[in-house]
Amino acid sequence: MDFPTYFRILKKYLGDGATIPEFFRELIEMITDDDAEDVISASGITSNKADSTLISYTKPQRGITQRMANQLLYRVNSANMTESIESRPDETIQLLADEFHSYYPDITAENASQRIPEIFVDFIRVKAGMGISTTAQKATFVNQSNQLKKQYGQFLLTEANNCCAFPGCDRPLILTSGNLATENYEVSVIEKDKDAEPLNLIALCPDCFLTYQADNRKKTVIALKNVKKILVSTHNSQRPISDLKLDNGIVAVLTGLNKLKFDEYDISYDPKQLTDKISPENNRTLYQMVKNQVIDNYLTIQKIIVNLDKQGKIDYEEIQYQMRSMYKKLKATKHDNLAIFNTISEKLHKATLQDIYFCQTIVSYFIQKCEVLE
């Protein structure tokens, strides 16, 4: 079965008289938690050509583009589509299952609401350049996850704050209905060629988990490694830290910054809200960490900086230049915000030999000051 055939059958039984562009938008919103217009725009489709472009995707030998597939890939929430199908009359589900059965003999009225979304997700993964995992392979992945959950599950859930850790997903990993709470997550190894130990494990929603098992792209692995670094640091930072230790740590980082190579850049900037620099929707983990550190430590750091500058122990303008320089270099090489935050924090850590938490706190301060992540 190809995507145009899949679309035609779904529209026949679930379309309720909608036009092709209307139902295409409904289908996007069925398989994700996102607004269809946002996905369409992010796929490079201009608003004045949206309807005609969506219609073209349903023509024989066509289908969604790779760019749209990449937009949908880690936004998938197949449970939405399952619920949509299950909400239809039994007669409609039976007719839908019967038509799909001629292409997929395993589909019945009983499992149609599960299998039909799986087919759509497979279309997305293949178009994005990944292979399709067989039913047996998916079962193996889930079995491996179950073993890891027994040993590390609760720790990883807490570390991820009960939300899918994949960038841009943020789906809850514990579902509630009335007074009942159900865990809905899997545990994935981040670097698949390395051991399954806590620093190489992460909690994901079931959809992101299965997609990631088939995703061997280096950029995806790096993105997840960067999220893990933030999660680990955030978890560690929750340990009690005395005011004296915090002050000493901040002072040590600031006075050690002269070990960094100095490059001159224009430090002019416009004040912006934190949400303008870090999207809570796309980078919840980083946004929450920076927000908490700014709330907890901003005034403390500002007071320390003023005192050190007056005493001649630091040159604040030079530190501004240094932070701005590192940011500009990393931004020019197309690093994303997570990578920039981690890289600058690690540079400070190596230069000053101070706890990574204090280094991250300094970076968070300069994010708020608009020297980093403008």
Mean of the pLDDT values across residues 217-242? 77
pLDDT greater at residue 50 or residue 279: 50
All structural domains of the chain with their residue ranges: 3-127, 135-216, 234-368
Phi, psi at residue 354, to the nearest 5°?
-100, 165
Q: What is the pLDDT of residue 135?
A: 84
Residues 6 or more apart in contact with residue 322 via CB below 8 angstroms: 257, 260, 262, 263
**pTM exceeding the 0.75 threshold for the entire prediction:** no
Q: What is the pLDDT of residue 250?
A: 74
Mean of the pLDDT values across residues 180-201? 92
pLDDT at position 13 over 90: yes
Condensed to tens digits (0 to 9), the pLDDT of residues 233-279 reads 776 655 544 555 667 777 787 777 655 554 443 333 333 443 444 55
Mean of the pLDDT values across residues 83-91? 95
- Name the range with the highest mean pLDDT among 9-13, 33-37, 263-267: 9-13
The span from the CA of 304 to the CA of 348, in Å, is 17
pLDDT at position 179 over 90: no
Q: What is the pLDDT of residue 207?
A: 92
CA dihedral 148, 150, 152, 158 (to 10 degrees): 120
Q: What is the pLDDT of residue 269?
A: 35
Query: What string of DSSP letters covers 109-174?
Result: TTTHHHHHHHHHHHHHHHHTT-PPPPHHHHHHHHHHHHHHHHHHHHHHHHHTTTB--STTT--BSE
The span from the CA of 181 to the CA of 221, in Å, is 31
For residues 333 and 238, the answer to whether their CB atoms sit within 8 Å is: no
Condensed to tens digits (0 to 9), the pLDDT of residues 39-48 reads 999 999 998 9
Taken as a whole, the chain contains a residue count of 374
- Name the range with the highest mean pLDDT among 131-145, 195-209, 334-348: 195-209
pLDDT at position 339 over 90: no
CA dihedral 295, 300, 306, 308 (to 10 degrees): -130
Supply 72's token pair: 């949908």
Condensed to tens digits (0 to 9), the pLDDT of residues 274-310 reads 344 455 566 566 666 666 665 566 777 788 888 888 8
pLDDT greater at residue 221 or residue 293: 221
